[in-house]
Amino acid sequence: MAARPTWKGYLKISLVNIPVRVFPATDSAATISFNQLHRECQTRIQQKRWCPHCEIEVPNSELVKGYEFEKGRYVVVDEDDLAKVRTESTRVINLVQFTDAAAIDPIYLERPYYLAPDGAVAAEAFAVMREGMQGKAGVGKVALYGREYLVAIQPRGKGLVMHTLRHAREIRSMDAIDELGGVADKVKADEMKLARQVIQNFEGALDMQEYRDEYQDELKRIIDAKIAGEEIVEKEEEAPPKVVNLMEALRKSLDRVSAEKKKTAKVAMARPKAAGKKRAKG
């Protein structure tokens, strides 16, 4: 099924305006979700807005927005107030700065979207700007649904990927984490050497396709079993080894990796021999 755009507008870079379509880059349907049911009859429950002071259900027409400026004290902000600060949707993604792609700290990245040209006429300009942006990220703003978003756009394959960005004031400083105060700046040289050896044994090219959401897979297995009326067999959880000494833990990690590599090598060597026997027999 072809993806559907959620927004159409223009990508503006200086005096260049390229018609684009914006598509969600993630699939919410890939994650299993649940509804809340009444245990007795398994009917889906309704969420009702209840005022504990008046002890009544409140209709949408009587709801207002309130900002808590002190504990238990609110100032009401109505639609007229919001209209005075609401940003008009201009249908333009306005890039105002370019930087090296690596300069954007991942902690600022929020939600990803794909950008594609809107129509054949826009495709050529889109491709030119995409190639011109290789290794770079464009930073700018877009006004959507009454509010302004900070965004970063980078080339990806044939298209562009756009991330909405968190503002600097939304990022909490690590200095606020008291538990990090006792973490040492320097470590022992022998421990560092072993740690690097362990890490090097796990280095390799990253392929995200190799990683599966085992929780979702197991959840789907249980759901399918319940639908079929089958008994659910609980998988045994492997207990972590009890190692209290860091050096001992690092050495055991190296020994385990070494043993696994030897086992893999033996299997790889045995396969050609077995294949050779089959060919000789034929």
**pLDDT tens for each residue of 197-215:** 888 888 888 888 887 888 7
Q: Measured between alpha carbons, how far is 145 from 22 in angstroms, rounded to an integer?
A: 14
What's the average model confidence in pLDDT over 234-250?
70
**Residue 242: CB partners within 8 Å, gap ≥ 6?**
none
Q: Where are the beta strands (DSSP E) in the chain?
A: 7-13, 16-24, 50-51, 56-57, 65-70, 73-77, 92-100, 109-117, 136-144, 147-156, 159-165
Q: Which residue has the higher pLDDT, 31 or 159?
A: 159
Confidence bin at 282 (pLDDT 50/70/90): very low
pLDDT in tens, 128-155: 999 999 999 999 999 877 789 999 999 9
Task: Say how far apart CA 203 and CA 166 lie, in whole Å.
Answer: 31
Residue 270 has pLDDT above 80, yes or no: no
Report the percentage of the chain scoring pLDDT > 70.
88
* Segment among 101-115, 158-172, 228-242, 260-274 with least mean pLDDT: 260-274
